[in-house]
Amino acid sequence: MGEPVEIASPEAQRLEGEPAARVIVAGASGLAGALAARLVWQHPRLELSAVTSRSEPGVALCELHPRIRVPLELGELDLDAAAETADTAIVAYPHGAAAGTVAALRGAGLRVVDLSADFRLASLETYGHWYGEHTAPELLDGAVYGLPELADHMALAGAGLIANPGCYPTAALLALAPLAEAGLAGDVVIDAKSGVSGAGRGGAEPLSFLNVTENLTPYAIGGHRHEPEIAQGLERMGRPGGVTFVPHLVPVDQGLLASCYVALAEPLAAAELGELYRARYAGEPFVEMLERPPSIREVRETNLCRIHAVPSADGRRAIVFAAIDNLWKGAAGQAIQNLNLMLGLAETDGLT
């Protein structure tokens, strides 16, 4: 497992000195896992020790995903080998399937960043409602929710397990945090649109080309799994209560735009709203405030979240747009950002 294989003109891993950690990417055959492997492979301080897959063992990752350019063979996860050859792991398994693997890796002494929803929700009851039975509930209390711009960096640095946020919650919570923290956020409506890569590499029959191309479709309007994650994040910032969240599928491969409409506790002028956001995100390397609405193309293949906030004409509502790449800041890029902070590295390492 993890042996280089021969491919045409492979990229070599370029480390700068001794690695800060050796990393396994479990579930590297999926879109987010493959990108995580590429980002570790290109990272100056991380060594990619193995890539694993439950469905594609024996295949070179660069053959399964030619653009990834990682010349390692996918293997089955070997916990005994993992304990000897790695210090950390990124787990990119589906919801429900990740928890057991995360528990096994933690038992083997590895620190983990998990991309699934299995450790994002603090309430076991809420998790059960949306995802079913949890197979490693004993790890919930120790998991740190890893939205770095809103998290305690000391908690991330000391974490053995970081729960990587979902893509929709990442964009929505970054869009809403300044208002929620200031006690200004009342009723919230989130109209979010994402590309088809959010469904994963295989997708589903409704995501066939004929149904997606030249089309725009709302889905999960009766309740989306990311809704309780968004509500939980807002509650932690002092804004209790639910939200209205409607996701839409758009005919692009990757990218996400969250349009948020927020009733304000008190009217704000444009200058006041802008200053609130600029002050909140000053010094955050991956959040950029714009004087115009962002588009998904401008954040493609970056770990950026670009935000524009403007009041309504009467100042009683805020309209906030946040754009991210759902595979980067919404998944694998944020996992690297979290792994950097976990290991005491600069959070921008391997992402600039």
Question: How far apart (Å, rounded) are the C-alpha atoms in residues 147 and 334?
Answer: 8
Question: How far apart (Å, rounded) are the C-alpha atoms in residues 30 and 85?
Answer: 22
In the annotation, is 167 catalytic? yes
Catalytic residue among 62, 167, 260, 305: 167
Cross-strand bridge partners of residue 189: 244, 261
Nearest to 49 by CA among 20, 22, 88, 15: 22
Question: How far apart (Å, rounded) are the C-alpha atoms in residues 129 and 119?
Answer: 14
Question: How far apart (Å, rounded) are the C-alpha atoms in residues 278 and 291?
Answer: 11
Query: In the sheet that 305-311 helps form, which strands lie side by side, from edge to edge?
Result: 217-218, 244-249, 185-194, 256-264, 317-324, 305-311, 287-289
Nearest to 166 by CA among 32, 10, 300: 32
Distances from the Cα of 23 to the Cα of 26, 33, 149, 328, 337, angstroms: 10, 12, 24, 18, 14
Those residues whose C-beta lies under 8 Å from the C-beta of residue 308, and which sit 6 or more positions away, are: 289, 290, 291, 292, 293, 294, 320, 321
Distances from the Cα of 328 to the Cα of 42, 56, 87, 295, 333, angstroms: 14, 23, 23, 15, 4
DSSP 169-215: HHHHHHHHHHHHHTT-EEEEEEEEEE-GGGGTTT--GGGSHHHHTT-
Give 182's Cβ-side CA count (13 Å radius).
18
Backbone angles phi, psi at 130, to 5 degrees: -95, -30
Place of tokens 């309007």: 221
- The percent helix, strand, coil of the chain (3-state, each to 5) is 35, 20, 45
Active site residues: 167
